[in-house]
Structure 1
Amino acid sequence: PIVMMTKESVNRAYETTLSEGVRFERRLFHSMFATEDQSEGMAAFADKRTANFKDK
């Protein structure tokens, strides 16, 4: 899901104004930041270990 969201954000950049793009990116950022993988990534970084992502 994260890769798809990122691709959509990049593709949308070609189709919208800067202000609309920033709003869209902000919504995606909040969605991405609320995932289990984000929490795992932050915990792994803090623990200095490899993250175990589950695509959630």
Structure 2
Amino acid sequence: MAKDDVQTALLKEILAELKRLNANLERRSTPPEMPSEEPVHDESEEMDEFE
């Protein structure tokens, strides 16, 4: 069980870091052609898989 807990904690840390990086990228380059709704939708699907 401890190994699973460690893996889950690491995955949550990695996911949080990816969200921060993605938010930074979206702030730097937001062309009107690419709506920011699609990445947000993908992230919510990934969250369901991890939790």
Q: Which has the higher contact order (CA 8 A, sep 6+)?
A: 2
TM bracket, shorter-chain basis: 0.3 to 0.5
- Please give the TM-score of this superposition, normalised by the length of structure 1: 0.45
- Please give the TM-score of this superposition, normalised by the length of structure 2: 0.47
